[in-house]
Structure 1
C-alpha cells in the first residue's frame, strides 16, 4: 500500500465572492492510496478563512504510517486510525477518508452509497446552484444562466441583500436560498432584512451572524418562517449538541467534518436533535462532490455544485443534468474516468 499526495489549485471560472471576500482559486491537495492494483482517490480544498493550507496538509499526510493502514482490510479500523492523528486537520482527514472509502468500494465492487443506505438506491438528486457576491447585474446574469436548476443559493454580504434578491426574482421563479456567511451584524436590521427576503420567496437563511453569536441566531430563528441553518458555526458533532437550541438545521460538508463517516454521524445526531440537514461543499472538484453525493439521500437540501464552478476539474464522476446530480454506477465514489488524475500524479 502507498499514499501519494500532490498540491493542486482549483481555478474558478469566474471570481467567487462571499462576505469573507473574493477569490479566483482555491488551493489544496489531491491524494491517492494504492493497494493491490486499486487506487482510491481523495482531496482537500479549504477556503483561506479556515486554518488548513497546503503546508499543514502535507505535514498531516507525512504523519500517516501506511503500515498501520495495511494491517487490516477493515474500513472502520482504517478510518479510526486516520481520525486518531491529531485533534484537528479535518480537511486533510477528509481527503484520506474519501480515498479509503473509494478504495474499499472498488475492492468490494460496490458504490460507497450502498454502505450508508438500506433502501433501494436512488441515482439522481436535485441540487442548488450557488451565485457568489458580485455586482447586481452580474448576479442576475448568473441566475439567468442557471435556469436549469430548481433552486439557487445566493451569497449575501449585508450590503445590498434586498436589492440583489429583488433583482433576481424579476428574472426567475426558482426557489432561492440565501447564505450570509456571517455577514449580518445588527439583530434588528437582520430581522427586517430576513422578513423582506422571506416575503420575496426565500426559503432558507444560512449562517446570518458571526460564529459564536448564538443568542442573535436564536432570536432571529424564533421570528423567521423559514429555517435558519448553521455553517461556519458547526464543524464537529459536539457543535451540534451545543447549538441545536439556536438553529433549525446544519450545513454538513465533508471538508469540515473530516470525511464521509464523520459527516454521516453528524447527520444522525442532527436528526436526533430535530434539525434539518443541508449537505454542502467548498470549492471542490468532482472527487469531493461525488464523495458527498454518496450520502445525498440523507439530506433535506443539497448544494453540491463546487465542481461546476471550476475550469480544471480533476476527473469525471458524478454528472449534473438539468439541475440533478446523476450518480454513476462505478464502484467507490463513482469515478468513471481518472485519466486526468493519472496525469496529475505523474
Structure 2
C-alpha cells in the first residue's frame, strides 16, 4: 500500500468574537490532514484545544510522529492504539474514514445505517458570554430558533440568564458555564433555572471537582463535557450526570466517538453532540453522531467569516448537511 500524508495548520477568522468563561476567541486555529491512496484523497480536520494541553504545533508534531504508520496503511482500529485520544488522532481518523468510503464507493450514511438523504437537524445557536445587555441583544436575534446555548460564568449568571430568556422566551435552552461554577452555584441556581425553563446544564463544575455531584439530584439534566473524553471515562463518571457531550476532538475521531455513544446509552445516559469553533470539515463527521443525539451543538462553522465551500448551512437554527461528496465518501 502506498499512501501520502499531508498535514497543515490554518487560521480561520471569525466574523464576531466568541467569548466563554475561559477567554475570547477571534479566529479558529485548525489542523487539516489529507491522506491520498490510489488517486483518491480523504480529508480530516481537528481543533487543538489549550484546555487539554494542545496547540497547532504539538498536534502537527503528533501526526508527523505517526506518519510512517499512516503511510504504510494503518487502519482506524489500529490507530486507537497508535495515537492517544485528542485532536491529532481525530484529524487522522476522519481522513481515514473519508478515504475508506471513497475507495469503496460508499458514504458514511450508508455505512452507519443512517437515513438517506441526510435530513437537516436542529443545532444550538450560541449566545456567547458578554454583559447581560449585550447577551440579550444576541439572544433577540435568535428568538425564533428552536434551541439556544448560553455561555455564562460566575460573575452574575442569574442576570445573564434572565436577560437571555427575556429576549428569547421560546427556544429550548442549554446553559454552559464551561467548568466555572461550584456545587453551591448549581444548588443555588436550581430554582431560577427551573423558572427559566432551562433544558440542560453543561459541565458546570471543573472536571476535577465533579465528585461533588455524587448523589446530587439536579432539577435540570446535567451534561458531562470536559469530564468525559472516551468510553473508558464513563467508569469514573459521578452519578450526578445525565448526558454525555461527545466531541470528536476529545474522543480522537469518529471511530472512538461511536464507541462512546454506544457505551453511554448502554449505561442509560443520553447523548449530546458538540464541537469546537471549526469549519464544516470538522462538523461533517460529527453528523454521524448528531443524527441520533437528543441535543446537538454544531454551530461552530457559523461563527467563521468564511467556511469551506460545500459545507453545512443553517437558517434560524436548522442546519442542513454538507453537499454530497464534501466528506464521508461519495
TM-score after normalising by structure 1? 0.88
244 and 329 in structure 1: CA distance in 2 versus 1, 3 angstrom threshold: farther
8 and 164 in structure 1: CA distance in 2 versus 1, 3 angstrom threshold: same
- 1:64: which partner in 2? 66
Residue 259 of structure 1 and its aligned partner are, at CA, apart by: 0.6
The superposition leaves residues 278-322 of structure 1 with CA deviations (integer Å, 9 ceiling, x where unpaired) of 000011111011111133223111000000011132332222234
Q: Secondary structure at the match of 2:50?
A: coil
2:181 corresponds, among 157, 168, 184, to 184
- Map 1:89-100 → 2, pairs under 5 A: 90-100=86-96
What are the ranges of 5 or more consecutive residues in structure 2 without an aligned counterpart? none
1:65 and 1:49 mapped to 2: Cα distance?
A: 25
Per mean C-alpha deviation after superposition, the further-off stretch among 302-311 and 128-137 is 128-137
The superposition leaves residues 63-111 of structure 1 with CA deviations (integer Å, 9 ceiling, x where unpaired) of 224565554xxxxx611232222434x1010001111111222223332
Residue 212 of structure 1 and its aligned partner are, at CA, apart by: 2.0
- 1:295: which partner in 2? 289
- 1:344: which partner in 2? none
Alignment RMSD, CA only? 2.2
**Contact 1:284-1:307 at 8 Å conserved across structures:** yes
- 1:74: which partner in 2? none
Residue 113 of structure 1 and its aligned partner are, at CA, apart by: 2.4
**Contact 1:128-1:303 at 8 Å conserved across structures:** yes
**Contact 2:123-2:319 at 8 Å conserved across structures:** yes
- 1:193: which partner in 2? 189
- 2:327: which partner in 1? 333
Number of equivalences = 327
Residue 115 of structure 1 and its aligned partner are, at CA, apart by: 1.8
- 1:21: which partner in 2? 23
1:50 corresponds, among 49, 52, 60, to 52
Residue 231 of structure 2 is aligned to residue 233 of structure 1: no
67 and 183 in structure 1: CA distance in 2 versus 1, 3 angstrom threshold: closer
- 2:36: which partner in 1? 34
Residue 334 of structure 1 and its aligned partner are, at CA, apart by: 5.6
Residue 121 of structure 1 and its aligned partner are, at CA, apart by: 5.8
Per mean C-alpha deviation after superposition, the further-off stretch among 310-319 and 280-289 is 310-319
- 2:251: which partner in 1? 257
TM-score after normalising by structure 2? 0.92
2:228 and 2:302 mapped to 1: Cα distance?
A: 25
- Map 1:94-133 → 2, pairs under 5 A: 94-117=90-113, 122-133=118-129
Residue 204 of structure 2 is aligned to residue 202 of structure 1: no
2:210 and 2:257 mapped to 1: Cα distance?
A: 22
Q: Secondary structure at the match of 2:155?
A: coil
Residue 333 of structure 1 and its aligned partner are, at CA, apart by: 2.6
1:197 and 1:109 mapped to 2: Cα distance?
A: 49
1:147 and 1:169 mapped to 2: Cα distance?
A: 9
- 2:84: which partner in 1? 87
202 and 21 in structure 1: CA distance in 2 versus 1, 3 angstrom threshold: same
Q: Secondary structure at the match of 1:55?
A: helix
Residue 119 of structure 1 and its aligned partner are, at CA, apart by: 5.6
Per mean C-alpha deviation after superposition, the further-off stretch among 30-39 and 60-69 is 60-69
2:114 and 2:321 mapped to 1: Cα distance?
A: 17
